[in-house]
Amino acid sequence: MVENSNLRLEEYRRDAESCPGCRGCIWVDHIFCSGSKYSMRCPSLYHRKFDAYSCMGRNKIALGIMKGEVDFTPKTIEIIYQCNLCGACLAACKRNLDLDTDMTLETLRIRAVEKGAAPIPEHKAINDRIAESGNRYGLDNSKRGGWLPGTAKVSDKPEMVYFAGCNSSFRNKEIATASTGILDSLGASYALLDEERCCGNPLYESGDADAALEQAQQNIAALKATGASTVVTSCAECYKVWKVDYPKLLDRSTGEMEYKVLHITQVANKGIQDGSLKLEHPVNMRVAYHDSCKLTRCSDDWVPWHGERGKYGVTIPPKVWRRGINGVIMEPREILASIPGIELKEMIRNGMSTLCCGAGAGVAEAYPEYTENVANHRLDEAEDVGIEALVSSCPYCKDTFTKAAEQGSRPIKCFDITQVLNESIYGKGGL
């Protein structure tokens, strides 16, 4: 069992106790919200429409479990896992109170695994496949880098590693090739990991912290072997795992890690701003940008805290609070604004107030009807601002919206931002 008090439910007892049920974690900030149609920030509550399925409700369950008044029953397990761990409640709650709601939700899952009540079968199947094959799909991991074009300018002594992740390695390969296309155009010094394995996101979010730690150690060792000091991801889940969860599992701060993590949008935007990335081909399209929750609210640096609570809950030593405010929000918008021909519209829920696509934290695999419902609600919001395409920065968001759009025969197209960027760089007409 991972020995780290920051991963123990009791560490967040005061947080759960201090929740007065103000419902701030449920609604989008009022000043940004016009009308009630798109006013809810919690996808779980949107789907279930019962307060237990909100952060507020899960705080009560966490407290009940700590007090021995509530058990891990099939119903409490369903409530705990019908949540995207999307951070909407964290960012909202921190407007008023310093409650680490994200950690209460995460450690509740870790406790469920410790008690033998989880991982739930759908998550266990993924975790078993990762253990056996090194990827979430159970495919031959030696073919993981098969998407890499022969023309890619991979370096022998890379400064950065492009970590494609399971999804873009095996499913949305166009995102992986578009990402290396961007790095090539920038003249970046990059390589892939010799032995890339799943980042471990499904393991950690299912509550299996031990397996996630093992995965972290393997991937960090593989990175070290390359000599590179920067990890670049095009997947929002991988980004959060490398930046936040690996340090968390190792009980170190993000700043203490021997590597730096960047999302491809940060790398590309820097190139656009300094003139090294040329966007010469117009992409004539009216789009909205969907902020992935893991890229936006969930990826503030991790800083461990080991201390005591004094009078009125004062933290001794002072705790560095994560408020979900330092995410990658402006870079994708600056990129889209720089592409000739793109007309960028904003949805009501954007930036820190984004709505999760509905897939995250194993919900898509375990509760597909939840994901379908939330994805369709988000597509309604996108269509209401009159766009042709929804652009995102995570392969899971793209998968989720594409599936919902196809099932509903909606005219809206769904792209990853790397694809749109590649079109403007190379003009191959691939969209």
d(CA 221, CA 256): 16
Least CB distance from residue 133 to ligand SF4, whole Å?
A: 29
Q: State which of residues 56, 261, 379, 389 lies at the interface with ligand SF4 (CB under 6 A).
A: 56
Enumerate residues 6+ apart whose C-beta is below 8 A from 214: none
Q: State which of residues 42, 262, 279, 382 lies at the interface with ligand SF4 (CB under 6 A).
A: 42
Does 59 help bind ligand SF4 (rule: CB under 6 A)? yes
User: Judged by CB, which is closer to ligand SF4: 89, or 216?
Assistant: 89
Q: What are phi and psi of 188, to 5 degrees?
A: -75, 150
Residue range at the interface with ligand SF4 (CB under 6 A); choices 52-60, 137-145, 253-261, 335-343: 52-60
Least CB distance from residue 221 to ligand SF4, whole Å?
A: 31
Q: State which of residues 1, 5, 10, 21 lies at the interface with ligand SF4 (CB under 6 A).
A: 21
Residue range at the interface with ligand SF4 (CB under 6 A); choices 20-28, 123-131, 241-249, 372-380: 20-28
3-state secondary structure of 68: coil
Residue type at position 314: V
Q: State which of residues 2, 9, 19, 232 lies at the interface with ligand SF4 (CB under 6 A).
A: 19
User: Judged by CB, which is closer to ligand SF4: 105, or 352?
Assistant: 105
Locate the DSSP E strands across 317-412. 342-345, 389-392
Query: According to CB under 6 A, which residues from 230 to 259 bind ligand SF4?
Result: none
Residue range at the interface with ligand SF4 (CB under 6 A); choices 32-40, 49-57, 266-274, 319-327: 49-57
Q: State which of residues 20, 227, 386, 430 lies at the interface with ligand SF4 (CB under 6 A).
A: 20
Work out whether strand 315-316 and strand 308-309 pair parallel, antiparallel, or are unpaired: antiparallel
User: Judged by CB, which is closer to ligand SF4: 233, or 371?
Assistant: 371
Does 24 help bind ligand SF4 (rule: CB under 6 A)? yes
Residue range at the interface with ligand SF4 (CB under 6 A); choices 36-44, 145-153, 184-192, 302-310: 36-44
Q: Which residue's entry shows tokens 């590693």?
A: 161
Does 178 help bind ligand SF4 (rule: CB under 6 A)? no
**Residue 150: how many other CB atoms lie within 10 Å:** 4
Does 362 help bind ligand SF4 (rule: CB under 6 A)? no
Using alpha carbons only, what angle is made at residue 201 by residues 197 and 204, rounded to the nearest 5 degrees? 120
Q: State which of residues 55, 231, 262, 397 lies at the interface with ligand SF4 (CB under 6 A).
A: 55
Sign of the alpha-carbon torsion through 50, 352, 202, 401 = positive
Residue range at the interface with ligand SF4 (CB under 6 A); choices 54-62, 113-121, 131-139, 371-379: 54-62
Q: State which of residues 1, 5, 22, 430 lies at the interface with ligand SF4 (CB under 6 A).
A: 22
Does 44 help bind ligand SF4 (rule: CB under 6 A)? yes
User: Judged by CB, which is closer to ligand SF4: 15, or 399?
Assistant: 15
For the record, the structure tokens of 397 come out as 């968001």
Does 375 help bind ligand SF4 (rule: CB under 6 A)? no
**Residue 419: how many other CB atoms lie within 10 Å:** 21
Enumerate residues 6+ apart whose C-beta is below 8 A from 73: none
Helix axes 55-67, 74-81, angle to 10 degrees: 140
For the record, the structure tokens of 112 come out as 């469920």
**Residue 23: how many other CB atoms lie within 10 Å:** 14
Going residue by residue from 75 to 114, which x/- string records binding to ligand SF4, judged by CB under 6 A?
--------xxxxxxx--xx---x-x-x---x---------
User: Judged by CB, which is closer to ligand SF4: 111, or 144?
Assistant: 111
For the record, the structure tokens of 253 come out as 């701060």
The helix (H) or strand (E) run that includes residue 414 is strand 413-416
d(CA 166, CA 200): 10
Identify whether the C-beta of residue 409 lies closer than 8 Å to the C-beta of residue 427. no
User: Judged by CB, which is closer to ligand SF4: 2, or 88?
Assistant: 88
Q: How many CA atoms are closer than 13 Å to the CA of 377, on its beta-carbon side?
A: 26
Identify whether the C-beta of residue 382 lies closer than 8 Å to the C-beta of residue 412. yes
Does 209 help bind ligand SF4 (rule: CB under 6 A)? no
Q: Which residue's entry shows tokens 């509530």?
A: 70
Q: Which residues bind ligand SF4 (CB under 6 A)?
A: 19-25, 42-44, 54-56, 58-59, 83-89, 92-93, 97, 99, 101, 105
